[in-house]
Amino acid sequence: MTNILLTGSSRGIGAATKAALEERGATVIGHASKACDDATIGADLSDPTAPQQLWAEALDRAGRSVDVLINNAGLFSATALDASDDEWLSGWEETLRINLTASAQLSRFAVRHWQERGVAGRIVHIASRAGHRGDSPAHWHYAAAKGGMLAMHKTIARAYAKDRICSYAITPGFTDTAMAGDYLESRGGAGLLADIPLGRVAQPEEIASIAVYCALDAPESLTGATLDANGASYVR
């Protein structure tokens, strides 16, 4: 039985990934900012102490053995360039805290956990196309956080492959979630789709299928890879 800690599991890509993993027989320890059911740990990742508490509770629920960490939780909130200095900085710090720093804390706990036990492990980072090509003028912080996540992912892969600790990253473009839907509408709705050669945004289940592959099936030699899923709107 594979024990997986999945952050941000209550909706969107996270909820689809949780369902797909459970169909494969994995035990998924879910997470949300507030516990929505008995299977979900509530932890507000804007609190610097929350990742440590989340990891400790996940270990208890998993019988002291977590095999895979999926860093999926994220915040996508606009901060206008002409906002007040305090508002702009507050938006930056909250976005970096939730999207990058909390993921780094959890990744560190996971790597140390596997090293101490002398076992293999996997981390899957749900990053974003924005980590490659940037984002809107109101989302400097989001692009910076996702770019940082990709750099962290590469560092983990290179540093710990010798320990059979693998790191995989997924960079979705727009995905059909409430978060992305609000953004699409604010940026012109259908007009924005013209930038996507596929002609549509991804479905959460599509991104989930890639996450499941990385968590359960991907060969170890794929460690360090970043898998794009953006409808050819950004091709590297």
- d(CA 54, CA 58) in angstroms, rounded, equals 6
By C-alpha distance, which of 49, 46, 43 is closest to 31?
Answer: 43
| Radius of gyration in angstroms for the set of CA atoms belonging to the chain, rounded to a whole number | 17
Residue pair 50/44 in contact by the 8 Å Cβ criterion:
yes
Residues of the chain with pLDDT under 70: 178-191
The confidence score (pLDDT) of residue 179 equals: 58
- d(CA 125, CA 185) in angstroms, rounded, equals 27
Q: State residue 199 phi and psi, 5-degree precision.
A: 85, 5
**Strands 68-71 and 3-6, how do they pair?**
parallel
The confidence score (pLDDT) of residue 86 equals: 98
Helix axes 204-212, 12-23, angle to 10 degrees: 50
The confidence score (pLDDT) of residue 192 equals: 74
Terminal-residue alpha carbon distance, the chain: 36
The confidence score (pLDDT) of residue 166 equals: 99
Residue pair 103/43 in contact by the 8 Å Cβ criterion:
no
CB-based contacts of 4: which residues, under 8 Å, 6+ apart? Answer: 21, 26, 27, 28, 29, 66, 67, 68, 69, 70, 215
Q: State residue 163 phi and psi, 5-degree precision.
A: -95, 5
The confidence score (pLDDT) of residue 194 equals: 82
pLDDT digits (tens, 9 = 90+) for 156-178: 999 999 999 999 999 999 888 76
